[in-house]
Amino acid sequence: MSSTSRGGGMGMDQATAGAETGTIQRRLSRTHTAGNLGETAFNSEVVPSSLSEIAPILRVANEVEISNPRVAYLCRFYAFEKAHRLDPNSSGRGVRQFKTALLQRLERENDPTLMGRVKKSDAREMQSFYQHYYKKYIQALQNAADKADRAQLTKAYQTANVLFEVLKAVNMTQSIEVDREILEAQDEVAEKTQIYLPYNILPLDPDSANQAIMRYPEIQAAVVALRNTRGLPWPKDYKKKKDEDVLDWLQAMFGFQKDNVANQREHLILLLANVHIRQFPKPDQQPTLDERALTEVMKKLFKNYKKWCKYLDRKSSLWLPTIQQEVQQRKLLYMGLFLLIWGEAANLRFMPECLCYIYHHVCH
């Protein structure tokens, strides 16, 4: 390819490229910023707290910069625009300085990245890079069984979502429709992003069965027990998903935060699995949770709550059904509710009497 065709799209139309650059510069210059911070590393760690929404965009810009500087520039430009929408008056702490430094970097990098652009427009450049990224980092890893590959695939889905967000913004600016092939790919990415979520120890999504840690009998036993939602009344407008468990039901009924539910689900599974495997005589290798493990974990979790009830001469809110098949589910609901309240309690978790009071009334 000739240097002319690579020079900011001038092989197609010098006036078009010049107008495009001029538009960017005018849009930048209209933003109210002041000061001079010089060189600044635009990582998620230095983004002001009030602009936390743009941190993933800047993270992606840093990630793709080596392979395509123009795409990285467009990501940063989009992040700048989004930051200005979030705080147009730069009133947040550190926002004015941050936006000024980012503006200076954009002004400095616009021309060189435009000259290095391969496609004839920024919209085509973004679409081409998105397709390249999808084929190299998503299609190639979709059937990954290795934990490292799976972690890379999870990250790739998150990156692809950001790239598509930037792509849509660039296309809208230049009045260009997104190719159908890209829209279909993004539909799949959006769907998988809801499944392949970051996790600490246990990958609990529907496609996690082939992961080594999920094959341990004690882990399987705890997971199967939690997924017994038989007889629980779900809200009418609730959209059920695959592999619902009792913590999903508690979230639907009480409105606990999504990340808290994910953390406490893993927490409870590991608690149960660790106690289950230590039982003697050993439980069967079938994926059935040992009742002794359930009782032991529940006893430890509610030791302080029972003391609190006794001290205040209150009747405990814990009661078990007479039907034996429902006892295990009720115990898991009690434990899940306690852990979810604890997870939401912030500093109150360091005040056991407050935690007991909240649990007592919510459970009742």
Q: Report pLDDT for 287.
A: 75
What is the tens place of the pLDDT at every residue in 89-112? Answer: 999 899 999 999 999 999 999 999
> 339 in the Ramachandran plot: left (φ > 0), alpha (ψ -120 to 50) or beta?
alpha
Q: Report pLDDT for 155.
A: 87
Confirm whether 207 is domain-assigned: no
Residue 217 CA from chain centroid, whole number: 28
Quote the domain boundaries for residue 322: 212-363
Confirm whether 199 is domain-assigned: no
Same domain, 146 and 284: no
Same domain, 353 and 276: yes
Same domain, 10 and 125: yes
Residue 30 Cα distances to 22, 23, 333, 334, angstroms: 12, 11, 56, 57
Same domain, 51 and 91: yes
The domain that holds 86 is classified in CATH as 1.25.40.270
Cis status of the peptide bond prior to 281, with omega within 30 of 0: yes
Q: Report pLDDT for 174.
A: 87
Q: Report pLDDT for 190.
A: 87
Say what percent of the chain tops pLDDT 90: 51
Residue type, 71: V
Average pLDDT value for residue range 163-180: 92
Average pLDDT value for residue range 336-355: 86
Confirm whether 178 is domain-assigned: yes
Same domain, 116 and 241: no
The residue among 129, 163, 193 that closes a domain is: 193
Burial of 152 (0-12, 13-18, 19+ CB in 10 A): middle
Same domain, 260 and 129: no
Q: Report pLDDT for 144.
A: 57
Confirm whether 201 is domain-assigned: no
What is the tens place of the pLDDT at every residue in 285-330? Answer: 667 888 999 999 999 999 999 999 999 999 998 988 888 778 999 9
What is the tens place of the pLDDT at every residue in 50-79? Answer: 899 999 999 999 999 999 999 999 999 999
Q: Report pLDDT for 285.
A: 66
CA distance 56 to 79: 9
Same domain, 184 and 218: no
Q: Report pLDDT for 146.
A: 59
- Average pLDDT value for the chain: 83
Q: Report pLDDT for 286.
A: 67
Confirm whether 205 is domain-assigned: no
Confirm whether 167 is domain-assigned: yes
Residue 127, pLDDT > 60, answer yes
Confirm whether 202 is domain-assigned: no
Residue 40, pLDDT > 90, answer no
CA distance 349 to 345: 6
Minimum mean pLDDT range among 51-65, 158-172, 203-217, 323-337: 203-217
The pair of structure tokens assigned to 174 is: 């230049």
Confirm whether 34 is domain-assigned: yes
The pair of structure tokens assigned to 11 is: 């092989």
Q: Report pLDDT for 283.
A: 66
Same domain, 222 and 334: yes
What is the tens place of the pLDDT at every residue in 173-188? Answer: 888 888 899 999 999 8
Residue 227: which pLDDT band, with cuts at 50, 70 and 90? very high
Q: Report pLDDT for 36.
A: 43
Same domain, 116 and 183: yes
Residue 230, pLDDT > 80, answer yes
Q: How many structural domains is the chain composed of?
A: 2
Same domain, 91 and 217: no
Residue 278, pLDDT > 90, answer no
Minimum mean pLDDT range among 111-125, 150-164, 189-203, 340-354: 189-203
Residue 8: which pLDDT band, with cuts at 50, 70 and 90? very low
The residue among 129, 159, 193 that closes a domain is: 193
Q: Which residue has the higher pLDDT, 33 or 355?
A: 355
Same domain, 121 and 225: no
Which H, E and C letters describe the chain, residue by residue?
Answer: CCHHHHCCCCCCCHHHHHHHHHHHHHHHHCCCCCCCCCCCCCCHHHCCHHHHHHHHHHHHHHHHCCCCHHHHHHHHHHHHHHHHHHCCCCCCCCHHHHHHHHHHHHHHHHHHHHHCCCCCCHHHHHHHHHHHHHHHHHHHHCCCCCHHHHHHHHHHHHHHHHHHHHHHHHHHHCCCCCCHHHHHHHHHHHHHHCCCCCCCCCCCCCCCCCCHHHHCHHHHHHHHHHCCCCCCCCCCCCCCCCCCCHHHHHHHHHCCCHHHHHHHHHHHHHHHHHHHHCCCCCCCCCCCCCHHHHHHHHHHHCHHHHHHHHHCCCCCCCCCCCCHHHHHHHHHHHHHHHHHHHHHCHHHHHCHHHHHHHHHHHHC
The residue among 144, 162, 193 that closes a domain is: 193
Same domain, 130 and 234: no
Instruction: Check: CB of residue 225 under 8 Å from CB of residue 332.
Output: yes
Q: What are phi and psi of 38, to 5 degrees?
A: 65, -145
* pTM over 0.85, yes/no: no
The pair of structure tokens assigned to 311 is: 């001290």
